[in-house]
Amino acid sequence: MEEGLKQKIASRGYLKGTITRLLQVCEQDLSSHSIEILEAKRVRLETSFAAYEKLNQEILYLDENDSENVEKTESNYFAILTKLDSEIKQKMSTSSMQASKSPHHNLTKLPPITIQTFNDNSTAKAYQLGRCMEMEPKLEDFLLFIEKQAMALENTEQGHTSSNNNKVVVTHMTTAACGYCAHTEPRRGTSRADGVAHASA
């Protein structure tokens, strides 16, 4: 029983030392500490003080004449807690003010830009027919389909351009009989390679 009491008193002394060290830190300037560090110290303080109070109860159960000055340690606890909370609140307020003054609020307002909606029913239909309806569509497959469609449209436009620029006109001679005699007269005619029109004169 005496050995267990000594062990609890030693553990309580360690916790008191932790609280004292935190008090010494809070007596200094905390502006260099980040919010994360301050919050970590606050958690350490609460954990240590809770364990300290539990040990006090256990020690009093074993030794009714225990002379621990609980009031002093409790006073230190509240002093540290107040200082940490005040510093954390101040830093959070400063961060909020800096965020509200960020550069994007001072940017010149650009005129609105209207972008027409692209509507291609044939492409949408081709996509629906080409995919497996039993599986959920994947983004990778959709992007691959769009890339193939763009290449197909590009090749089609190039084909139309080359066919319009490479028209060939062929001239050939035909003969026609004269209605008054047996003399035949050559007639000049033209035909276009694209088969659009035929003419004779």
The pLDDT profile of the chain, 201 residues, written as one tens digit per residue, is: 688 899 999 999 999 999 999 999 999 999 899 999 999 999 999 999 999 999 999 999 999 899 999 999 999 999 999 999 999 999 888 877 776 665 555 567 778 877 766 566 677 777 777 777 777 777 787 788 888 878 877 777 665 555 555 554 444 444 555 555 555 555 544 444 444 444 444
In this predicted structure, what is the pLDDT of residue 152? Answer: 79
Q: Closest by alpha carbon to 38, among 75, 82, 100?
A: 82
In a domain, 147, yes or no: no
- How many domains is the chain built from? 2
DSSP 63: -
Q: Would you state the pLDDT for residue 147? A: 83
What is the per-residue pLDDT for 97? 73
Distance CA 45, CA 34 (A): 17
Residue 198 lies in a domain: yes
The residue out of 64, 94, 124 marking a domain boundary is: 94
Rounded Cα gap, residues 74 and 31, in angstroms: 25
- Nearest Cα neighbor of 72 from 11, 19, 29, 28 is 19
Does 62 reside within a domain?
A: yes
**How is the beta sheet containing 169-177 ordered, strand by strand?**
169-177, 184-192, 198-200
142 falls within a domain = no
DSSP 8-state symbol, 104: G
In the listed set 51, 72, 94, which residue is the last one of a domain according to the structure? 94
pTM, two decimal places: 0.48
Range of the domain at 191: 169-201
The residue out of 44, 76, 94 marking a domain boundary is 94
Q: Is residue 78 part of a domain?
A: yes
124 in any annotated domain: no
Give domain status of residue 31, yes or no. yes
Alpha-carbon distance of 35 to 88, in angstroms, equals 6
Phi, psi of 56 (to 5 degrees): -60, -45
